[in-house]
Amino acid sequence: MTQNLLPEDGEESLRFENELLKIKMMAEQGIIASGFSRNGCARRA
């Protein structure tokens, strides 16, 4: 279903994939960071 929302242009879809990857990486880093803060190593506000 969401495929219809993806841009037809190859360059646009590549950029879209890049954004998804960035979000995924940021999410994973956030999970890691929250794990550290639980141990009291790196607390974030």
* Burial of residue 33 (number of CB atoms within 10 Å: 0-12, 13-18, 19+): middle
If we measure between CA atoms, which residue out of 21, 19, 17 comes closest to residue 29? 21
> What is the predicted pLDDT for the residue at 26?
87
> What is the predicted pLDDT for the residue at 2?
54
> What is the predicted pLDDT for the residue at 31?
75
> What is the predicted pLDDT for the residue at 21?
93
For residue range 1-38, list pLDDT tens digits in order: 455 665 567 888 888 899 999 989 888 888 767 766 56
